[in-house]
A = this chain, B = another copy of it.
Amino acid sequence: MQNRLLAALPPAEYGLVGPYLTHIELPRGRLLYDPGDPIDTVYFPHDGVISLMTLMDNGAAIESATIGPEGALGLMAAVAPRASMSRAIVQTPCRAARITAAQLHGAWQKSPAIRQFVDNHTEALFGHAIQSVACNALHSVEARFCRWLLTCHDRISDNTVALTQEFLADMLGVQRTTVTAVARALQERGYIRYRRGIVDIIDRDGLEAMTCECYGVVKRTYERLLPG
């Protein structure tokens, strides 16, 4: 699998970034950015999920958007130097390509196609965020739990996701005990199997039936604006 933004670059544009790309493995839990950090590196995941989390004063860290193979982390730094506004953390182990923000900025200056990718990506990420604003206000934990699993499942090539209920509770901004209850309900329906830090997705259609419209809305936004 290959990052879809990079894969969609015409050969001429790829020549502007390809020589600077470094391939790396990102382990689960790796902290890439905290609020205020200068964005000096841009990451293009080939698979896996990177979460953008908004930090609160009391230490809560709640997910505001995700980055997967359809996009890139820190892409707005291609336009001009930027500080991160979120915590960026690796959700599932990722293979990824990385490039310095300065080098990407050089390519951005030279290529209209790259500028358009960056622009569309920003738009898609904004769309993701505003849908999440509504989702968090209106939808049940159960629906959001399903949405999260499906979003994650779309970005990995596996039916198994490694994550603890404690962590998922953080992502969704709810109590762990609530996550436990929801996970048990989904397991009883046969949609997932939950064991110590590992979720198996068994019935994807079942999850889709229980999630809210937000899953589809965000997915279609990405399909409309980004290649692949």
Q: Give A residues with C-beta under 8 Å from B.
A: 52, 54, 56-57, 60, 62-65, 76, 79-80, 82, 85-86, 116, 119, 122-123, 125-127, 129-134, 136-138, 172-174, 213, 221
Contacts and interface: CB of A to CB of B under 8 A. Distances in A.
B129 A130 contact: yes
A33 to B, nearest CB: 13
Contacts of A63: 133
Nearest to A171: B137
16 contacts: A54-B131, A62-B133, A62-B134, A64-B134, A76-B119, A76-B122, A76-B123, A79-B119, A85-B127, A85-B221, A125-B126, A126-B126, A126-B129, A132-B133, A134-B136, A136-B137
B138 A62 contact: yes
Contacts of A129: 64, 126, 129-130, 133
A57 to B, nearest CB: 5
Contacts of A136: 133-134, 136-137
